[in-house]
Structure 1
């Protein structure tokens, strides 16, 4: 396996960062001036980049981004659109501006008190106010909404909010985990009692891989973490590594070897493994799988910083075959997942 020099990783991260923040695209995937889950994942990744590098230009970009877009904040009350708020607790810590704290608390209250829930108690996944997915649980929710709850809980020392975040992690793992392989299905329908098309979609697993170690780290001083959570997470990772291909990547539906390689999900899984190692949830031997994925991801970063082979927006598709029809386009979440992986790998050589 090729050894990747630290400077190569850092240079790639800088290119990916620049491609995100210097783009003037109005396309859905790269429009960072919208307020939705796509730019939300982007700014979450930029905050991660700042936390690891301390680059003041990154923090200034984030505070400027909020200033420019705050009139859009909270207009659309759906789970996916809560993603950008996950940066607010940390921005409050950095700036002490009360706006960030007030918004984090207000949106967290909306999620807990008003967001629709399934009969199982999971937050019902909602994407837009026009579309409804009644009684559906999607893996995406853990990253898009529960991460905010955990970060707000830590900032405000709210044990009840921490318990809400932990409950959602437990419910989602229980409902989505495949008993046979340990990996997660894309979704669950509480009314029908099934996993819909039963796709073992790679990016669904990536959202959970990244979010769970972060969530548990945020709330661990406020509430006891049951050992079952860690066991479920490790079983998921052990299942995922069996699907990693020779290029170090995962196919967009991981058990479909003829489907295309998908970079955002592959980067997210590898990043989650690194986060879990850092949090003590996994041991050091899992770094071998990360290094393999890192090489595969780097091969998909263009000289411009654009990340290639990223699948576009993907609802739960009616059939497994339909996932292969999703086009690959540049997206902020693809850039973001890759940036987070690169940051976590700064110490790998």
Structure 2
């Protein structure tokens, strides 16, 4: 089966009726469908398939009322498609909603004492004074896209500040990779898990954010240096099959597809925008992810090997106990990886150097 066909099966599976399945039900407003629609937009930008754009517009119309009164950091994710939808449709509502949510983020969203956006969620749970890697993909990506849409240096500077804060508090100085979370109260990384999907969220989101805000503000060398260290560290933990263990420094733990796909996508995207050098080693690492991930996709287009929703766990061992089942974020991160691979094939991959 060609990669084009595989990608088509993956996105079409996302559109099916999965009512009652937390991981696959796209018709609600939260981070899980948010990652799904972000990925569908990425796929549309690569393929220009109008069926995908039509679906995204209909999805917003069907689900937009569910966003009312539901504004927390994790539920910002679906809004990340709004700036592009405004550009495609010239419908003022998309721009106005983007501005409304961006203003809430910079003015009202709860912050930790270190000024990071506190990781607030729709579930009945609080993570006071906690910084999670997830926030960069779920919320800061939207803010960066809105900054680019309206030419706001204020939003761009906030997006940059959030990326830097998250990298500073989460990056392991020894290995360069990221811990899942940081507790500002206790001043530690809690269970100190080098969780793969946490790294995948930031690996994928940072180059997308930099691409949006760099025309508006200067990107400090610290960001590029930290991101380069992150990618170099990640490659040191890539397993022989091309994936990463769900906790990457625990090679005996199960190998996890969604986080691995996010890392592979991030490597390619960062190379594309010059955030990391065009290096043959990086390209080969991303190619290995594509090959590995492809073996986890069923004939129906269901992505396997994806760990369930994961808060910062109480121990490293507890990450190994997270159940594996299909999810929209698994489908989505894989679709983003496949879309980038298809885009590079069409454009012709840039020359790399050893």
Shift of 1:129: 5.6
Show CA shifts across 1:39-70 (max 9, x none).
00000000000011111000000000000011
CA RMSD in angstroms comes to: 1.1
Tell me the equivalent position of 1:213.
207
Which of 81, 97, 103 is the aligned partner of 1:103?
A: 97
Tell me the equivalent position of 2:24.
30
Which of 59, 69, 81 is the aligned partner of 2:63?
A: 69
Tell me the equivalent position of 1:112.
106
Q: Is the 8 A contact 2:303 2:330 kept in 1?
A: yes
* Equivalences for residues 319-334 of structure 1 within 5 A: 319-334=315-330
Tell me the equivalent position of 2:174.
180
Q: In the alignment, does 2:285 pair up with 1:278?
A: no
Q: In the alignment, does 2:265 pair up with 1:300?
A: no
Question: Residues of 1 paired with 2:89 and 2:18: CA distance?
Answer: 27
* Equivalences for residues 5-24 of structure 1 within 5 A: 8-24=2-18
Question: Residues of 2 paired with 1:108 and 1:203: CA distance?
Answer: 25
Shift of 1:9: 1.4
Q: In the alignment, does 2:332 pair up with 1:336?
A: yes
Question: Residues of 1 paired with 2:28 and 2:143: CA distance?
Answer: 22
Q: Structure 1 unaligned runs (5+)?
A: 1-6
Which of 270, 273, 290 is the aligned partner of 2:286?
A: 290
Tell me the equivalent position of 1:122.
116
Question: Residues of 1 paired with 2:57 and 2:194: CA distance?
Answer: 37
Tell me the equivalent position of 2:352.
none
Tell me the equivalent position of 1:233.
227
Show CA shifts across 1:240-267 (max 9, x none).
0011111100010001111101000000
Tell me the equivalent position of 1:3.
none
Q: Is the 8 A contact 1:241 1:289 kept in 2?
A: yes
SS at match of 1:270: helix
TM-score (norm 1): 0.97
Tell me the equivalent position of 1:4.
none
SS at match of 1:345: helix
Of 281-290 and 106-115, the range deviating more from structure 2: 281-290
Tell me the equivalent position of 1:264.
258
Question: Residues of 2 paired with 1:244 and 1:84: CA distance?
Answer: 30
Q: In the alignment, does 2:309 pair up with 1:313?
A: yes
Question: Residues of 2 paired with 1:17 and 1:129: CA distance?
Answer: 27
Which of 103, 113, 125 is the aligned partner of 1:131?
A: 125
Question: Residues of 2 paired with 1:36 and 1:59: CA distance?
Answer: 20
Tell me the equivalent position of 2:191.
197
Question: Residues of 2 paired with 1:129 and 1:336: CA distance?
Answer: 22
TM-score (norm 2): 0.95
* Equivalences for residues 246-261 of structure 1 within 5 A: 246-261=240-255
